[in-house]
Amino acid sequence: MAKCATISTFTIDLCSNSLGGVKNVYLADYAEGAATYDKESGVVTALSGSWLKVPIRKNTASYTSTLNVSEESGNSVSTVLSLVFSKMETSKRMTMNALSLTDVMAVVEDANGQKVFLGIDNPVTLSAGTGETGTAKTDANRYTAELTDDSMEFPPFLGDKLSWKADTQDTNKGTWEAGA
């Protein structure tokens, strides 16, 4: 197999604590070139566009990236962002329908404060969705949306200088700004 990349450093901190789960999700309409990706450092250094902070409840969102290795066609990574919206109602149903008709890009902040960008190579699309009432009174009544990002590599992290700037009128809307 030909070498396409080399590993010059690989550090594992065996003493680090880590938390599972997703803290925040931000979505924007997909726009090619909206992310500035520095291949050398491996991070997104700038994001343009108007973004929506999606309100999610604790323990109701996750993402999983799967590396697909192929000698014939090269490697790819499929990342699925799963979002659960408690209580089925009209506004959430309309959001699910809108997601099924549009391409988006996403920033996902995990429980450790790390932020990844989905949509670096292709738009993120709604690949599956469900609405369920449950059976028992204690079962969940919810919509679940699965957004999929197909890319050439694992999702890049946002650079440390990028931060969320909420709109003064609506704090669920905003932009990503590069600080000093």
| Tens of each residue's pLDDT in the chain, 180 residues | 455 666 666 666 666 778 888 999 999 999 999 999 998 899 999 999 999 999 889 999 999 999 999 888 889 999 999 999 999 999 999 999 999 999 999 999 999 999 999 999 999 999 999 999 989 999 999 999 999 999 999 999 999 999 999 999 999 999 999 876
pLDDT at 173: 94
DSSP single-letter state for residue 101 = H
| φ/ψ (deg, to 5) at 98 | -65, -40
Instruction: Report pTM.
Output: 0.88
Tokens of 73: 């066609």
Q: Chain centroid to CA 173: how far?
A: 16
Residues 6+ apart with CB under 8 A from 70: 76
Evaluate whether 107 touches 176 at the Cβ level (below 8 Å): yes
